[in-house]
Structure 1
Amino acid sequence: MSRESCIVAQFRRHADLSDQEVELLTALEKDVRDFPAGSVLSEAGMEAGSFFSLHSGWACATRLLSDGQRQVLDIFLAGQVMGLRDIGFSHTQTELTALTEVRACPFPAKYLDEIFERSPRLARIFFLKLVRENALLTERIINIGRRPAAQRLAHFLLEMKVRLHAADPEFELPLNQNVIADALGISTVHVSRTLSQLKEEGLVRVGQNRVTIDDLDGLVALSGFDPAYLE
């Protein structure tokens, strides 16, 4: 197994993998490609049939509306497989974009077919991964539909902390305010004002692609954050 295999590391969180299962997963990372920040890996409306394993960096899935507005649906971290939501469609439903410089590995859908045929356990883990992505999206819908801006942003920051397995109060968040705004359904101006509000209340500071949580209990109380959907 390659020490640099992010997808294997992710799957080892769920089960002890056999040599055959490691081999099947590392096949998804054979065609490593570099993409600069801002580049589109896959456009919406393309013929479906391929996916991407994210080796390093940050990426997102978005839907563009007819008036030019954008909704960020997923934020991907290293080790995730991008495009799984389109697995049952003839054409892609979302656009995949690099948020930072990324290394990603495109692979055809037939690779997943082989994994599912040869390893029922890996198939179950892929299913669990997709269920988790749906749980993230469900929580995002609740965030946008029912929580005011301060709670919405606080909840989002705590979600990213848990997803990054960040034990320290300070962690990396290389997302500009446009991306955060498009993920939370508010304007960039509102994001800026809300961040200032959270800072004034002594809860959190955001700057230079870093987040520092100064009052974790206070941020959890404000947002009503429950990490059960991430477990």
Structure 2
Amino acid sequence: MNTPYRGCILRQFEDFSSLGSDEAALLARLEQNPREYAAGELLSEAGQRSDAFFTVTEGWACAERVLADGTRQVLDLFMPGQILGLREVSFHRNLCDFRALTTVTACPFPRRHLTDIFDEAPRLADLFFLILAREQSMLVERVINIGRRSAAQRLAHFLVEISVRSRQSTDALELPLTQTVIGDALSLSSVHVSRTFQNLRELSLVETDNGTVRIVDLDELITFSGFDRAYLEIRSDWARQITA
């Protein structure tokens, strides 16, 4: 009997349902042919034909839009186990750039082969839909965060979300992002990000040291930011369940 595949992408799918060994083996196809990208390198470019998506197995990447005046909006952050480019699945060309923020290992997967996986394991189509729905809910929450919260609340909310998504087991949050990237995700200048971190330190909510953020009081940070994790907890009881 073959040992079930245990790649990091399983974590994303197992948020919604247990997986059978055949389903896990099919997902292994998404983590074949790994390629390394240097920090700052484009995985895929806006306007480029959208023939593949990527499974991130190591490092952090982002989706970004660069405007005519050179300003940038970071739309999404991708961590190990996430699928990059799913929202482009309905378009012939990429709507944004996908860029490595750290050294990234990612596996390109031809979009045309996705239906092969669904034909062999139809239940995985349900789980892909749920993952896409959660990505959409995170994007909606980011719009609210940028549009209706103060700079300090935005940053606090961002830190709580990253802590939840990265499944931190301690209060020390590894954050391998520059203040420029954080600012571009929150529509703040890098100088404003620096001042806002100082604000959170003065409120005794966080401490910072060389790329590590220590959350001093998670409950207070949640209250201060207005964070409600419901947008990360997609309802999945309608999806087909695993059978014996």
TM-score bin, normalised by smaller chain: over 0.9
Aligned to 2:54: 52
Are the counterparts in 1 of residues 5 and 25 from structure 2 also a CA contact under 8 Å? no
Runs of 4+ with deviation above 4 angstroms: none
Are the counterparts in 2 of residues 28 and 111 from structure 1 also a CA contact under 8 Å? no
Aligned to 1:219: 221
Alignment of 1:114-153 (within 5 A): 114-153=116-155
Alignment of 1:89-168 (within 5 A): 89-168=91-170
Which secondary structure does the structure 2 equivalent of 1:87 belong to? helix
Provide the aligned length of Structure 1 versus Structure 2: 230
Distance 1:191 1:9 in 2: 31
AA matched with 1:227: R
Q: Following TM superposition, by how much is the alpha carbon of 1:211 offset from its aligned partner in structure 2, in angstroms?
A: 1.2
Distance 1:207 1:2 in 2: 37
Residue identity over aligned pairs, in percent, reads: 52
* 1:90-113 deviation per Cα after TM superposition (whole angstroms, max 9, x unaligned): 110011111111110011002211
The TM-score with structure 2 as length reference comes to 0.91
Distance 1:57 1:100 in 2: 6
Q: Following TM superposition, by how much is the alpha carbon of 1:216 offset from its aligned partner in structure 2, in angstroms?
A: 1.7
Aligned to 1:205: 207
Distance 1:223 1:14 in 2: 27
The TM-score with structure 1 as length reference comes to 0.96
Q: Following TM superposition, by how much is the alpha carbon of 1:2 offset from its aligned partner in structure 2, in angstroms?
A: 4.1
Alignment of 1:2-41 (within 5 A): 2-3=5-6, 5-41=7-43
Distance 1:207 1:44 in 2: 35
Distance 1:190 1:88 in 2: 37
Distance 1:90 1:130 in 2: 18
Are the counterparts in 2 of residues 39 and 97 from structure 1 also a CA contact under 8 Å? yes
Distance 2:209 2:73 in 1: 23
5+ residue gaps, structure 2, are 234-244
* 1:46-103 deviation per Cα after TM superposition (whole angstroms, max 9, x unaligned): 0111110101111100011111111001000111110001000011001111111111
Q: Following TM superposition, by how much is the alpha carbon of 1:196 offset from its aligned partner in structure 2, in angstroms?
A: 0.5
Aligned to 2:239: none
Q: Following TM superposition, by how much is the alpha carbon of 1:118 offset from its aligned partner in structure 2, in angstroms?
A: 2.0
AA matched with 2:171: P
